[in-house]
Chain A
Amino acid sequence: MRYAMVIDTKKCVGCSDCVVACQTENNVPIGYCRDWITERVEGTYPNLELELRSERCNHCENAPCVRCCPTGASHIIDGGIVLVTPNECIGCGACIESCPYDARFQHPDGYVDKCTFCHHRLEKGQLPACVSVCPTKCMYFGDLDNPNSEVSQLLKARKHKTLAPEAGTKPHVYYLI
């Protein structure tokens, strides 16, 4: 089982619903966010390309945050989800420094927090909050090891990319382009 998120940049309008949904689902304090929207504009008027991306922890297969954690608070569970155990985290900040995506932050309580792929919802058979709420249905979630899953099929059929591939982290969040 390898969970992956596939996000269609051709459909995303950058509305940020994923961000609010995450905030209310996971009690993320106001002023913080586990996911966010990046807008990229290239070209010269009127020959322009605009890309909108919903970004979050990439749940990397080769996760530098997990490797650099001195206590094992950052760890990978079945399905490839990278999690932080608050009561093992000392707040040293090493994992934050190690993340090429700046996806982690210090929760006001001191421990490090980030996207969990809504692990608690997956256990109940629900999709991550961001995926379930997206008005454009541009986000897909599933198992990469299952060749018939929606995510596998989409990655087979469509051109896609991951973020900062040169960092060598093997992200599990893919963008259809």
Chain B
Amino acid sequence: MEEELFTSGRNIPNIDPSLQIWHWPISVYLFLGGLAAGLLFFAALSTVLKKEDETPATVKYAIIVAPIALVLGLMALFYDLTHKIFFWQLYTTVRIESPMSWGAWVLLFITPLSMLWVFSYWKDIFPKMDLRLSFLEKFRLFLAKNRMKMAYVLIPLSIILGIYTGILLSAFNARPLWNNAILGPLFLVSGLSTAAATIILFSKSHSERSLFSKIDVGLIIIELALIVHMIMGYWAGSEVQLEAMELLVNGEFTVMFFVFVIILGLLLPGLLEIMELRGYKVPVVVPAILILIGGLVFRFVMVEAGQLTRYLY
């Protein structure tokens, strides 16, 4: 028998017996960040490809969610800081090695940019509300003219933001569940998928909906493949990674992970979307909402379970 224990009575709040440093705000933030990244990516891509007219929800309407999600996400992030009055220290330095620093800087640019983007479509979004002050209208026109430039900037920024939500976790060598290279792309794909679901919810155009249903099915297939890949990665790993896998496959988080993330969050909505594309009557709201819930639960599972995993020595 092997036995390992603290004999000096260690019981530090939020550290013992396992980490509880990052709470629900972080999960919410990762979800909202991924969602906003996806929305901005699709809007920018559509603009670059000059498909604005075919994808009105993508570029004008669903995109409203992006700045809201980013602001809420930032608020959640700020809420989980424990030494809040020093938050400004984030912007006194650029730390290339710190994903958190990258994220802070990306958010500093992408959040106002997303607002400007939405503002540039003010007339389309709020046709009944005129911008009374002429300089605002001038500014809006200026933005609308430079939309293409914004789109070129947003594509890399949104990809960085989407990947960053995963890398924030995967950069921690100390947490075996997080420490794999798949998590970045996986969270990016998951973010894009939740964005596609949001666009489907906002879109009134059948062609746009079916385009994003197709995209989403593709994303779901990629996401499932990445999840299989991730689990295979644990399986081939060391003892600590096997223990991490156990949490998802045969442990505390198995029900959450399989029922809410895999089945209800990916397989079922994917199936419903395929059925809809094949002409069956499926209310589009259902798969879209399932995907959004699945994406949120996925981040809760990863954040919480990851903090239970650690090195053994």
The reply to whether A41 and B2 form a contact with Cβ atoms under 8 Å apart is yes
Chain B contact patch, size range: 35 or more
Q: Report Cα–Cα, A166/B22, bound state, in Å.
A: 25
Q: Report Cα–Cα, A36/B87, bound state, in Å.
A: 31
B93 within 8 A of A: yes
Contact with A along B1-24 (1 / 0, CB 8 A): 111111111111111100101100
Residue on A nearest B91 in the bound complex, by CB: A71
B96-104, B154-162, B242-250: which one contacts chain A? B96-104
What is the size, in residues, of chain A's interface with B at 8 Å between Cβ atoms? Answer: 52
Contact with A along B88-129 (1 / 0, CB 8 A): 011011010111110110000000000000000000000000
Q: Which residue, A36, A43, A92, has most C-beta atoms of chain B within 10 A?
A: A92
A167: B residues at CB distance < 8 A: 173-174, 311
Q: Report Cα–Cα, A62/B26, bound state, in Å.
A: 26
A103-111, A117-125, A136-144, A147-155: which one contacts chain B? A103-111
The reply to whether B173 and A38 form a contact with Cβ atoms under 8 Å apart is no
A111: B residues at CB distance < 8 A: 82-83, 86
The reply to whether A166 and B10 form a contact with Cβ atoms under 8 Å apart is no
Q: Report Cα–Cα, A44/B6, bound state, in Å.
A: 20
B214 within 8 A of A: no
B313 within 8 A of A: yes
Least Cβ distance of B159 to chain A in Å?
A: 20
Within 8 A of B (CB), among A139-177: 163-164, 166-168
Within 8 A of B (CB), among A56-83: 64, 67-73
Contact with A along B61-96 (1 / 0, CB 8 A): 000000000000000000011111011011011010
The reply to whether A37 and B82 form a contact with Cβ atoms under 8 Å apart is no
A168: B residues at CB distance < 8 A: 173
Q: Report Cα–Cα, A111/B19, bound state, in Å.
A: 16
A110: B residues at CB distance < 8 A: 82-84
B310 within 8 A of A: yes
Within 8 A of B (CB), among A7-37: 14, 16, 19, 31-33, 36-37
Q: Which of these, B15, B87, B104, B173, contacts A98 with CB under 8 Å?
A: B173
A134 within 8 A of B: no
Q: Which residue, B6, B14, B90, B313, has most C-beta atoms of chain A within 10 A?
A: B313
Contact with A along B272-313 (1 / 0, CB 8 A): 000000000000000000000000000000000001001111
The reply to whether B87 and A90 form a contact with Cβ atoms under 8 Å apart is yes
Residue on A nearest B102 in the bound complex, by CB: A70
Residue on A nearest B239 in the bound complex, by CB: A166
B312: A residues at CB distance < 8 A: 164
B60 within 8 A of A: no
Residue on A nearest B104 in the bound complex, by CB: A70
B175 within 8 A of A: yes
Within 8 A of A (CB), among B201-254: 238
B171 within 8 A of A: yes
Q: Report Cα–Cα, A99/B171, bound state, in Å.
A: 12
A70: B residues at CB distance < 8 A: 90, 95, 98, 100-101, 103-104
Q: Which of these, B2, B8, B19, B100, contacts A42 with CB under 8 Å?
A: B2
B83: A residues at CB distance < 8 A: 86, 89-91, 109-112
CB-defined A-B contacts under 8 Å, sample of 30: A33-B10, A36-B10, A37-B8, A38-B6, A40-B3, A44-B1, A52-B7, A64-B172, A67-B98, A69-B98, A70-B101, A70-B103, A71-B95, A72-B95, A89-B86, A90-B83, A90-B89, A91-B83, A92-B80, A97-B175, A98-B172, A100-B173, A101-B311, A102-B15, A104-B15, A106-B14, A112-B83, A164-B313, A167-B311, A168-B173
The 6 closest A-B pairs by CB, nearest first: A91-B82, A91-B83, A70-B100, A110-B83, A70-B101, A93-B21
Q: Other than the known A71-B86, A71-B92, A91-B83, what 4 A-B pairs have Cβ atoms closer than 8 Å?
A: A33-B10, A70-B100, A90-B84, A97-B175
